[in-house]
Amino acid sequence: MVQLQRFYIDGAWRAPASSRVGTLVNPATRKEDGAVALGNATDVANAVAAAKAAFSSYSLTSRRDRLDLLDRVIAVYERRAEEMAQAISREMGSPITLARQAHVPFGLGHLKTIVDVLRDYEFDEMVNGTLVTREPFGVCAFITPWNWPMNQIACKVAPALAAGCTMILKPSEIAPRSGALFAEIMDAAGVPAGVFNLVQGDYEVGQALATHVDVDLISFTGSTPAGVMVAKSAAETVKRVHQELGGKSPNIIAADADFERAVRHGARLCFSNSGQSCNAPTRMLVPADRMDEAAAIAAAVAGELKIGPPEDQATEMGPVVSERQLKKIRELIQAGITEGARLVAGGADVAPGLEGFYVAPTVFANVRNDMTIAREEIFGPVLSIIPYGDIEEAVSLANDTVYGLCAYVSSGDPEKTQAISRRLRAGMVHLNGSVADYAGAFGGYKRSGNGREWGRHGFEEFLEIKSVFGHGKTAVA
C-alpha cells in the first residue's frame, strides 16, 4: 500500500498543512490500496508563493537553460518508465501493456516534442517597426484527471517549463501515484526550487487554485460541469482559463469505406482504456441499410476482447476507475435499454471471477441521436451505433451535440473524406484510422473546452504577447 503524505513545494517534500487524508482503492480488486494527503488553501498559498518567487528568475532563463532542463527531465523519465507504467496500471486499472505502450510513451512524446518546438521557436517579430514579443505568462495551475494521467500532466508541464513559467500541479485524488512519481522525476532532474510544485488534493485544492489572486493561468482537464465551475471561480481574478473537457465524438463510416476494417477499428478505439477517453469515438454513424452488419462486427469485437486483471500481459481491457464511475456507466446502459436501443453485446455485468469495477464492452444498435446514451458522455466502454440515410444526414447528426472535441471519418474517396472533415464542428478529425500527432493541436469546440494543447499551439498558450512601440528608434523630443 502506498502512503502519499508529502507535497513537493519550493524544491522540497513538505508535510501538508491539514490532516485530511483520502483513501486509495485498487480498481481491479475494490480493496484499499493506500492513502493520499489532501491539501487545503494553506498548502496552495505556500505553493503559489514559491512559484511566484521563482518566476522572477526562471522567466529570464535562456532557451539553452530550458532545453537542458527538459533534456534532464526526459532522461530521468526514461529511466523510471517502468515504475510509471506500474503506478498508472495500479491507480486507474489500465492493463500493464497499455500503460507501457501508450500511457507512459504519451508523456515522453510531449516532452520530446516541446524540445523540438522550443529549439526553433521565434519569440520576436517586427511588425511595421514595432517589436511584438512573446514572454512567459506567469504562475500556472494545473488540474489533471485520472484517465490519461501522464498524457495530461506532461502536455501541460512541458510547454510551461519551455515557456519560462512556474507552476503548481494538482493531480486527481483518485489516481495520485503517477503525479507523485512525476514530481520525483522533476526533483531528480534538478528543476529549480519553486518552478514546479505538487499539491495533492480534491475540490478544496482546485477551488483554492482557481481563486488565488497570484495564479495567472489555470489549465483544467476533466468533465464539462467541473470545467464550468473552475471557469466561474477563476472569473473574479480574470486569469486565463484553459479547458480540455468532455466529448461525444462521432465516427462517420461512409458506404464506400472498407466497412469491416472501419467498424472494427472504431469499436476497438471506443473500448480502449475501458472507454475512459474524452476523444473516444462513442457514436458510430453507419448507413441505415448496413446497421445489422455494423452491429454484428462491433459485437464480435466486444466478444473478442480479453477482459481481466491489469497485471495480466494478455489483458486488453481492465476495470473502470472507481465504484462511482461503475455506477454511472451501469445507469446509462440501463437508460439505453429503457429508451429502446437494441443491446447487441455486453451490458452491466462481466464474467464471473472479476471482483473489481469491471464493465463488459457494450454495443447498442439502432440508437437515435436524441437518446441519453447518444447525448451524455458515458466515459465507459459503451458504443452507440446510429443509422443515417445519406452523408448530409450523417454530418447533421455528427454535429448535433453540445460537444465538439473530436470526430472520425472513414471513406474510400479521399476528396470526400476531406470534404466531410471540414464540415464537422470539432477541434480534431481523424481520417481513415489516422492516429494523433504530438505536433498537432489538441482541443475542442463548443462545450468541449477552449485553448489548445500539444506542440507549438500548446506552447503558445503559455506565452503572453507584448508590443514594444518605437523599438530601436531614438527618443522623440
pLDDT interval class at 352 (50, 70, 90): low
Q: What is the DSSP string of 333-346?
A: HHHHHHTT-EEEEE
Beta bridge partners of 383: 363
pLDDT interval class at 68 (50, 70, 90): very high
Instruction: Tell me the whole-structure pTM to 2 decimals.
Output: 0.96
Do 151 and 225 belong together in one domain?
yes
Do 203 and 285 belong together in one domain?
no
In-domain check, residue 284? yes
Do 143 and 256 belong together in one domain?
no
Q: What is the DSSP string of 147-211?
A: SSHHHHHHHHHHHHHHHT-EEEEE--SSS-HHHHHHHHHHHHTTPPTTTEEE---SHHHHHHHHH
Contact 382, 374 (CB under 8 A): no
Predicted pLDDT at 474: 63
Predicted pLDDT at 475: 60
Full domain range(s) for residue 182: 2-245+448-468
Of residues 469 and 475, more confidence is placed in 469
Predicted pLDDT at 473: 73
Do 163 and 22 belong together in one domain?
yes
In-domain check, residue 474? no
CATH code (residue 163): 3.40.605.10
In the structure grid, which three cell numbers stand for residue 414, read together?
Answer: 479521399
Contact 132, 124 (CB under 8 A): yes
Predicted pLDDT at 244: 97
Average pLDDT of span 383-398? 98
Do 224 and 354 belong together in one domain?
no
pLDDT interval class at 1 (50, 70, 90): confident
Looking only at Cα atoms, what is the longest distance across the chain? 86
Residue 415 CA: distances (Å) to CA of 221, 284, 410, 412, 422: 34, 21, 11, 9, 11
Catalytic residues: 244, 278
Do 92 and 181 belong together in one domain?
yes
Mean model confidence pLDDT for the chain: 97
Predicted pLDDT at 32: 97
Please check the confidence at residue 214 and state whether its pLDDT lies above 90. Answer: yes
Over the stretch 145-167, which tens digit does the pLDDT of each residue have?
A: 999 999 999 999 999 999 999 99
Please check the confidence at residue 272 and state whether its pLDDT lies above 90. Answer: yes
HSE-up (13 A, CA, CB side) for residue 27:
30
In-domain check, residue 111? yes
